[in-house]
Chain A
Amino acid sequence: MNRARLEVFLAVIVCTFGFSAATNAHHSFAVYDQTKTETLKGTVKAFQWTNPHTVIWIMVQPEGGGQPQEWTIETTSPGVLTRSGWTRKSLNPGDRVSVEFHPLRDGSHGGGLEAVTLLDTGQRLQAKFGAAEKPGLQ
């Protein structure tokens, strides 16, 4: 298949199926089960402070032993988080944390963040999406 034919083929695929097969980062949080909130304790592996969504990678020791498992907890953008009192240094590798999150529906190790508590300081951070719904906030 030459390049022109390949592009037409791809165009047909895209026109037919839309972009649902794309794997980019900007997605609806309806993928997470908003009716459930779960809590996990673990250690921060990495904190990704990027648009459109920030991500906390957490290593969790399974109950009953075994190797630590990586969990992916997503939340909103750096802009919205900054306005909620976060900085890019709010979480650091090695921090012990407790996360409250809305889980993925298929049981995969991921969720949408509700709040994260730094266990060594007790500081609790939330993503306050609707916090800017009035003027003149400080």
Chain B
Amino acid sequence: MNKMRLNTGWVAAFAACTAACAVTIGLGAAPVHATDKDPVDPAPTLKDYTTLATLPDWSGTWTPDMTDQVKQEKTNPPPWKPETAKQIKKMYADEDAGRPFEIIDHCFPTGMPSWMLITHNAFEILFTPGRVTILGEGDGNRMRRIYTDGRPHPPDPDPSFHGHSIGHWDGGTLVIDTVALLPQAFLAVNEAVGIPNNGDMHIVERLHLQGPDTLHDDLTITASKLLTKPWVTTRTYYRQRARKYEIVEGVCPQGSFIDAKDANGNDTFAPITFHDNVPVGSKSK
């Protein structure tokens, strides 16, 4: 499949770009604490599981308030540095002209903090002993692991789209500290306006219920390469319990293919023809 080869090429290019940028920019996240060498997690106990019952109820599916996302974007924009603000201004102009800069068209995870800031899709939150896990839909690998077992950040974590997160409970508020984000992870205010953090980004979140079925994420984002000062903003999500709101699989690259049959009559995928990111022909159907 030519399309698959193309994608492999892009992944190779991205990996090479990651290496190149790592050398030239340096990767954020200095070690926060020293850790024991090769720590081992103990098996969870019955008490560990019963303790989960004392945490706030965050079950169900959470859907974003997209109207409020736009309101926040307009009324509380990030304190961009002047040189970054020039890029942002051009992105808004390009978006208005119908030439949006595509922040998520590569089908990589949207990453942090953009997932929490600009998502159109739902997520769910799971509690297990020592960990909170946030699972999303939309790009196939939207998952945050937040360690709540008291560990520090490792001395030199591998950078990733979602970073390394540790959390602790402050009453009913989960306080999350995230470092080790890939420098390519965007700080985005919508799907067409955002800048790679370029390294050295640090995110602190206070995730808490505001009323019985409304979740707030108060974020403080420090991105020294882009911002003149930490950006404090908030996002709102609503709880759904109807089963039709449950998370579904969302494998982003699947959208580049259409159902087809191979020469032996087996079900397979065939690439769709694209033009300027828009599918223009089901040539293989």
- Given known contacts A28-B192, A134-B238, is B13 in contact with A7 (CB within 8 Å)? yes
Contacting residue for B16 out of A10, A50, A74, A109, CB 8 A = A10
Residues of A within 8 A of B191 (CB): 27-28, 30
* B278 adjacent to A110 (CB under 8 Å): yes
Nearest chain A CB to B216 CB, angstrom units: 13
- Interface digits, B58-77 against A, CB 8 Å rule (1 contact, 0 not)? 00000111111000000000
* B9 adjacent to A10 (CB under 8 Å): yes
- Tell me the residues in window 21-50 of chain A with beta carbons closer than 8 Å to chain B beta carbons: 22-28, 30-33, 45-46, 48, 50
Query: Which bucket holds chain A's interface residue count?
Result: 35 or more
* B95 adjacent to A28 (CB under 8 Å): yes
B229 at the interface (CB under 8 A from A): no
* A108 adjacent to B280 (CB under 8 Å): yes
CA distance A24 to B272 in the complex (A): 10
Contacting residue for A79 out of B66, B248, B275, CB 8 A = B248
B266 at the interface (CB under 8 A from A): no
Interface-side segment among B31-39, B96-104, B144-152, B156-164: B96-104
CA distance A55 to B105 in the complex (A): 16
Residues of A within 8 A of B213 (CB): 135-136
CA distance A138 to B241 in the complex (A): 8
Shortest Cβ distance from A79 into B: residue: B248
CA distance A76 to B190 in the complex (A): 16
Residues of B within 8 A of A82 (CB): 244, 248
Most-contacted residue by chain B among A74, A77, A104, A105 (CB, 10 A)? A77
* B281 adjacent to A133 (CB under 8 Å): no
- Interface digits, A1-33 against B, CB 8 Å rule (1 contact, 0 not)? 000000110111111001110111111101111
Contacting residue for A31 out of B12, B15, B100, B285, CB 8 A = B100
- Interface digits, A75-107 against B, CB 8 Å rule (1 contact, 0 not)? 011111011000000000000000000001100
* A105 adjacent to B98 (CB under 8 Å): yes
Residues of A within 8 A of B256 (CB): 23-25
B55 at the interface (CB under 8 A from A): no
Interface size of B by Cβ–Cβ distance < 8 Å?
A: 74
- Interface digits, B251-285 against A, CB 8 Å rule (1 contact, 0 not)? 11111111100000000000010111111111001
- Interface digits, B230-257 against A, CB 8 Å rule (1 contact, 0 not)? 0000000011111011011111111111
Contacting residue for B14 out of A14, A26, A133, CB 8 A = A14
CA distance A57 to B84 in the complex (A): 40
* B66 adjacent to A133 (CB under 8 Å): yes
Interface-side segment among B17-25, B125-133, B169-177, B199-207: B17-25
Contacting residue for A20 out of B102, B255, B280, CB 8 A = B102
Residues of A within 8 A of B64 (CB): 132
* A83 adjacent to B245 (CB under 8 Å): yes
Residues of B within 8 A of A10 (CB): 9, 12-13, 16-17
- Given known contacts A26-B107, A79-B248, is B139 in contact with A55 (CB within 8 Å)? no
- Show 21 residue pairs from A and B whose CB-CB distance is below 8 angstroms, ordered by the A residue: A8-B20, A23-B277, A25-B274, A26-B106, A26-B252, A27-B105, A27-B277, A31-B98, A31-B100, A51-B140, A51-B255, A52-B138, A52-B252, A55-B279, A57-B282, A72-B279, A74-B278, A78-B248, A78-B250, A83-B63, A135-B239
User: Could you list which residues of chain B lie within 8 angstroms of chain A, going by C-beta atoms?
Assistant: 6-7, 9-10, 12-17, 19-21, 63-68, 95, 98-107, 120-122, 137-140, 190-192, 212-214, 238-242, 244-245, 247-259, 272, 274-282, 285
